[in-house]
Amino acid sequence: MIERNFQFAVQNAGEVSASLLRPSNAECLLLLAHGAGAGMNHSFMTALSDQLAAVKVATLRFQFPYMEQRRKIPDHATVLTAAISAAVLAGSEAAPDLPLFAGGKSLGGRMTALAAAQHPLENVRGLVFFGFPLHPPGQPGTKRAERLPAVKLPILFLQGTRDKLADLTLLRPICAGLGARATLHIIETADHSFHVLKSSGRTDADILQELARTAAEWTQKFLR
């Protein structure tokens, strides 16, 4: 296992921290952008990286500029998408021999989608969203999905049935409208943080393993 911490530059926003976790048998690299309220070293992000490493997926976690600078309010979308583009370049340079995928948790996934809709993400084969934030809590809507049809890459959505930021009655038809490009994987009783009810008989650790396994199996389709 190789773990390397470094920094890369984001256009007009300074440098941000990044962490590459690469198992010796890695078959691809997944860029993992963090959610709005917690950075790349949040327990969910690090645990997910560990689980992905166990199924032969290397990860590159990184900070958005506002998190790097310890500000609470996320940057404007232009800065966030610039960070995604810079991370794609950093990932290609850090592991040039590995097929590249991009995505992230909540805001990180949404901004990756926006970046991919605006311009091609060089060398990226597909996008993986861990809890796509379709709308604010308690405000069902689809405005945040308006740019998804412009994304020409395959997309994997991993969503919980109790996610208050993604009403599945709205997300299902959106995914259906994207056709074969979209895959929707539902996790029963999981919320936006992928915590599950005790009545499910499963633990958060079980869910992390499912997230990693599902993502790894999905990427296999695009490695050939």
Query: What are the sequence ranges of the domains in the chain?
Result: 2-220
Model confidence pLDDT, tens digit, residues 175-200: 999 999 999 999 999 999 999 999 99
Task: Quote the pLDDT of residue 214.
Answer: 98
The residue-averaged pLDDT of 91-105 equals: 97
CATH hierarchy code of domain 2-220: 3.40.50.1820
Q: Are 144 and 133 in contact (CB under 8 A)?
A: yes
Mean pLDDT of 28-39: 96
Contact in structure between 4 and 20 (CB atoms under 8 Å): yes
* pLDDT value of residue 205: 95
Percent of the chain with pLDDT over 90: 97
- Mean of pLDDT values over 190-211: 95
Confidence at residue 138, expressed as pLDDT on a 0 to 100 scale: 86
Identify the pLDDT of residue 224. Answer: 74
What is the pTM (predicted TM-score) of this model?
A: 0.96
Average pLDDT of the segment spanning 8-25: 97
Task: Quick: pLDDT tens for 136-170.
Answer: 998 999 999 999 999 999 999 999 999 999 999 99
Q: What average pLDDT does this structure show over 107-120?
A: 97
Q: Mean pLDDT across the stretch 14-34?
A: 98
Q: What is the mean pLDDT of the chain?
A: 96
